[in-house]
């Protein structure tokens, strides 16, 4: 599984070998087709929040 990890302010890293999650008895794993960011999330990316 691929993942994009926030490693610092304005720094991301693509990880091609992220471990597949193992759901518990009452959990599910959802395959993502697309994602979005809320405007308030940009402060986390910029390092201001």
**What does pTM read for this prediction?**
0.58
- Is-contact 14 6, C-beta < 8 A? no
Residue-wise burial string across 25-40, b where 16 or more C-beta atoms lie within 10 A, e elsewhere = eeeeeeeeeeeeeeee
| 29, two tokens | 């794993």
Q: E strands within the chain?
A: 3-8, 11-15
Can you give the pLDDT at residue 12?
Answer: 92
Q: Mean pLDDT of residues grouped by 10 in the chain (49 residues)?
A: 90 92 93 88 87
| 33, two tokens | 């087709």
């Amino acid at each position: 599984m691929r993942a994009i990890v926030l490693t610092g302010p304005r720094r991301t890293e693509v990880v091609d070998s992220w471990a597949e999650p193992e759901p518990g008895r009452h959990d599910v794993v959802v395959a993502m087709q697309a994602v979005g960011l809320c405007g308030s999330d940009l402060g986390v990316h910029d390092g201001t929040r």
